[in-house]
Amino acid sequence: MYRWHCDSEIEILSGWGARQSKLMQRARERLVRLAKKHGIRLRQSYARVGKFALIKHQRYAHAKQFKRANRQLKRLRTILGAVIRDITRKLAGRPELVQVFALPLARRVRDQRQRERGRKVYSLHAPEVECIGKGKAHKPYEFGVKVSVATTLERSRGGQFVTHVKALPGNPYDGHTLETVVPAIEETIGVTLARIVANAGYRGHNAPKDKHFKVHVAGQRRGLTKPIKRALRRRGHRARHRPPQARPPHGPQLPGLLRRMLHPRRSPHIIFSLLLNWLRLLWAYFLAMLTTLTTPLLRPRSA
């Protein structure tokens, strides 16, 4: 009951390369749309010029002509700066609209560079997202906010329960999140944790000192008992595969009751209760057959 599985997930957005040009184009479009909505007349909207500059940048980048692509990226940055300065001049007499336009966010999009350190804007509708490198070959970088998720290790009869979820802004190391996550889980459920199973990203964790012997990380070889090895295998199996249906190697599919009995995630007491139900149905079927065979057939009376 008190064994838990900890993992971290990320809300994924698209990458940086093409997004920087799109961000500046979308920021310009949003500022022009807000200006038109509130009756602010701009010197120029750059709708046609900005659209063609974005198209050229994407085509040059796809063709690996990066000098020409950077030239168009610089053009998009200049256009965005011109729109920001024009709106700033027009808002001098209307201070109530300063918060509506959110010009500081547009300035961050204009001023940021690809290789600079510090926080960057990757999404206009969610500026809090971060660039997170997870070491995946097919997806080196993911964009979002890291979230810690803790679930029960054993599947209960009602299903899998998520006992603790917490957002972790700032891109912390997975292993360094146990210091705050473990006390929060114990405070939520009201009991002391007996075992924590985590993936290899939690190596070198900083769990509380009295919990060090209770945290088991994937890839660990020493000090593992058979139940812990099963738990580590179960964690990887659940993350990668869905349980297969119980089907015989040949012939039709098993009845629904027997298929539920042979489900790989069923605990022993649930399997025993299903077996009793199946035996009751089988006994009722035999009684009905026996009653049908022993009942004499009614013969019609002769005239």
Dump pLDDT digits (tens) for 3-30: 656 666 655 544 444 478 999 999 999 9
Q: What are phi and psi of 97, to 5 degrees?
A: -100, 5
- What is the pLDDT at residue 251? 40
- What is the structure's pLDDT at 201? 72
pLDDT score for 182 = 81
Of 136, 139, 109, 141, give the one whose Cα is nearest residue 123. 109
**165 Cα distance to chain centroid:** 12
**Residue listed under structure tokens 């990757």:** 122
Which pLDDT score, from 0 to 100, does residue 53 have? 95
Output the furthest CA–CA distance in the chain (Å, rounded): 116
Q: If you ran DSSP here, which 8-state letter would residue 156 be given?
A: B
pLDDT at 16: 47
**What string of DSSP letters covers 187-252?**
HHHSS---EEEE-GGGTT----GGGGGGEEETT--TT--HHHHHHHHHHHHHHH-PPPP---SSSS
User: So what's the pLDDT on residue 20?
Assistant: 87
Which phi and psi angles does 145 have, rounded to 5°?
-125, 130
DSSP state of 46: -
Determine the Cα–Cα distance for residues 72 and 63; give it in Å rounded to an integer.
Answer: 14
With CA atoms as reference, report the closest residue to 157 among 44, 294, 274: 274
pLDDT given for residue 127 in this prediction: 84
Residues lower than pLDDT 50 in the chain? 1, 13-18, 237-254, 257, 264
- Is 129 in a helix, a strand, or coil? coil
How many of the other CB atoms lie within 10 Å of CB of 163?
14
* 24 touches 76 (CB < 8 A): yes
User: Is the pTM value of this prediction over 0.75?
Assistant: no
Separation between Cα atoms, residue 58 and residue 125, nearest integer Å: 22
Quote the pLDDT of residue 93. 82
pLDDT single digits (tens) 151-185: 777 766 666 677 788 888 887 887 788 878 888 88
Sheet bearing 146-152, strands edge to edge: 162-168, 146-152, 3-10, 195-198, 215-217
